[in-house]
Amino acid sequence: MAKSKNKSSGLKSKGERPNVNKKVRNAVRADRVQISDSIHSAEYKKAIILSPKSVTDGTRLREKFLAEEAVERAIAPLLNRFAIAGLTKAAAVQAVKTEKVPDLNSKWGVRLKNYRDSLNA
């Protein structure tokens, strides 16, 4: 590839590949996460949690995975109830970790009611 002679500082592809922004290429790469990778990581976590060695030793990795699993179980009902009104997973996780679930319920209960009223109007 040769340096372009115009004002841009990038390289010109000469037909080898389309001139695509670096951020776009990286985004496409990130979207290509293999399903097998996520399955593999889930199996790995399950093996760590259930292994007899980690149960007796009380490893930090096992404790971390159990804590993550507990947070996932706690946010599932919140997301099922309030996701339609716009609650994000990040907000639900923050509420669970800071023990502010009652505040979240009251705040998003009002937003959910307003959302449903706007649909019925």
Angle (CA) 75-78-112 rounded to 5° is 155
Domain count, the chain: 1
Give the pLDDT confidence of 78-102 residue by residue, as tens digits: 999 999 989 999 999 999 999 999 9
pLDDT at residue 2 is higher than 60: no
Expressed as residue numbers, the domain containing 36 is 16-120
In a domain, 47, yes or no: yes
In a domain, 63, yes or no: yes
Give the pLDDT confidence of 4-44 residue by residue, as tens digits: 556 665 666 666 666 778 888 888 777 776 666 677 777 88
Task: Tell me which residue has tokens 């922004």.
Answer: 21
